[in-house]
Amino acid sequence: MEYLLSVDLGGTNILIALAKRKGEIVRLQQFPTGAAAGPESVWHNLLAGLEEVLCREGIPWHKLAGLGVCAAGFFDYYTRSIISSPNLPGWENISLEERLKEKLCLPVLTENDANAAAFGEFIFGAGRGKRNMVNVTLGTGIGGGIIIDGKIYRGSGGFAGEIGHIPVLPEGPLCGCGRRGCLESLSSGSAIARAGRAAIAEGEQTILKKVIQNSGGITASHVFEAARKGDAVSVKIIERANYYLGRAFATIVNILNPSLITLGGGMARAGETIFTPVRLHLKEAAIRPSGEMVEVVPAILGEEAGVRGMLALLEQHLLQN
Ligand SMILES: [Zn+2]
């Protein structure tokens, strides 16, 4: 029996899956990334995590057919390196793939985490049976992956699918990428939390004031919770975030004409508070035939989307090489 290892290297956690070749996951385990201590420390944590997963299942290294790793950040698919990553400080032009191949003497495949998650949803999740779909991850930031004719669409440099950086509001708020008015600066979890803090600072009447007194800070979930209780300021913040998300989805739909958009990530758990208005704003702004054809549904693989996508990509890679 041969096995595969699959890793989702995130800013907070490293999720590792050990799976039977063409079979199910036998172990799924999470380790802290320790990103703040820099790339060498992350490298150490990753190798130690791989060792531990194999050791606990009693699988020796020589039983492994390959390793797949997806990571957060701008990933150059053609040079196989992480150009930079807002969530992994110090990671600049790092070829994780070369380094892992040298260290482990195994076939290694690396990928951007959003592409891996999209491929996971396409093969195992809400996108099964579709040919053209887009997966959007709505959390602290906004990530995206595009599947066209059953393949990840990468663009000329490998940077396609940066849905969070669709410019939706001219001269809007400053985004983490350095530009203004990106979708991420208006509809992400951090944008919603920031809008909540700004409302308090501007002296608006909101129950978020109490939240800040009790918990010391405002998160997106606080704003969603306050909106559910009828807080007008919070309702307005959520409505605005949903409006821009729907408009950005219309842009995607007009360009790509997908049959499906899957929406996952921590914030998507808010359910119909997001889905109903986003579908409405999408339909208002998209051209009619594409807008009527596309479904917007919850992604179903949750945090496992990336490691599952990497397992499928690794199987394909091993067959072709
Ligand atoms: Zn941006």
- Contact predicate 298/275, CB 8 Å: yes
Q: pLDDT band at 229, cuts 50/70/90?
A: very high
At 3 the three-state DSSP class reads: strand
Sequence letter at residue 225 = E
144 CA → ligand 1 middle, Å: 13
pLDDT band at 129 (very low <50, low <70, confident <90, very high): very high
Percent of the chain with pLDDT over 90: 83
Q: How many CB atoms lie within 10 A of CB 178?
A: 8
The Å distance, Cα 129 to ligand 1 centre, comes to: 32
pLDDT at 297 over 80: yes
Whole-number pLDDT of residue 85? 79
Neighbours of ion ligand 1 (CB under 5 A): 165, 175, 177, 179, 182
Q: Which two tokens stand for residue 120?
A: 């996971």
Q: Which two tokens stand for residue 63?
A: 């039983």
Model pLDDT, residue 51:
98
Confidence check: pLDDT of 11 > 90: no
CA–centroid distance, residue 181 to ligand 1 (Å)? 7
With bands split at pLDDT 50, 70 and 90, how would you rate the model's confidence at 73?
Answer: confident
d(CA 307, CA 153): 19
For 99, phi and psi rounded to 5 degrees? -65, -40
* Span from the CA of 176 to the centroid of ligand 1 (angstroms): 6
Q: Return the pLDDT at 21.
A: 95
CB 106 within 8 A of CB 67: yes
Measure the CA–CA gap between 290 and 288, rounded to whole angstroms.
6
The Cα–Cα gap between 308 and 314 comes to 10
Mean pLDDT (the chain, rounded): 94
**Distance between CA atoms of 309 and 315, rounded to whole angstroms?**
10
Q: What's the 173 CA to ligand 1 centre distance in angstroms?
A: 10
Q: Would you state the pLDDT for residue 93?
A: 83
Is the pLDDT at 122 greater than 90? The verdict is yes
> How far, in Å, from the CA of 66 to the mean position of ligand 1?
34
For residue range 186-227, list pLDDT tens digits in order.
Answer: 999 999 999 999 999 999 999 999 998 888 899 999 999 999
**Cα–Cα distances in angstroms (integers) from residue 10 to residues 28, 218, 266, in the given order:** 15, 23, 14
pLDDT score recorded for residue 83? 81
Is the pLDDT assigned to residue 74 strictly greater than 90? no
How sure is the predictor about 273, in pLDDT bands with cuts at 50, 70 and 90? very high
Go through the domains of the chain in sequence order and give each one's CATH number: 3-112 (3.30.420.40), 126-300 (3.30.420.40)
pLDDT digits (tens, 9 = 90+) for 151-171: 999 998 888 999 999 999 999
Using the mean position of ligand 1's atoms as its centre, give its distance from the Cα of residue 184 in Å. 6
Residue 31, amino acid: F
**CA 182–ligand 1 middle distance (angstroms):** 5
C-beta separation of 121 from 299 below 8 A: yes
Q: Return the number of other C-beta atoms located less than 10 Å from residue 221's C-beta.
A: 15
Cβ-in-10-Å burial (0-12, 13-18, 19+) of 214 comes to: exposed
State in Å: Cα 290 to ligand 1 middle. Answer: 26
Q: Which carries the bigger pLDDT value, residue 6 or residue 39?
A: 6
More confident residue, 302 or 215: 302
Burial class (CB in 10 A: 0-12, 13-18, 19+), 230: exposed
pLDDT of res. 249: 98
Residue 2 Cα to ligand 1 midpoint, Å, equals 42
Confidence band for 1, pLDDT divided at 50, 70 and 90: confident
In the chain, the percentage of residues whose pLDDT exceeds 70 is 100
Residue range 113-127: mean pLDDT, rounded: 97
Helices then strands, counting H and E runs in the chain, come out as 11, 12
**Helical spans, DSSP H, in 113-215:** 113-124, 184-187, 189-201, 208-215
pLDDT at residue 90 tops 90: no
Task: Tell how far the Cα of 21 is from the centroid of ligand 1, in angstroms.
Answer: 38
How many A from CA of 114 to the centre of ligand 1? Answer: 15
Tell me: pLDDT of 124 over 80.
yes
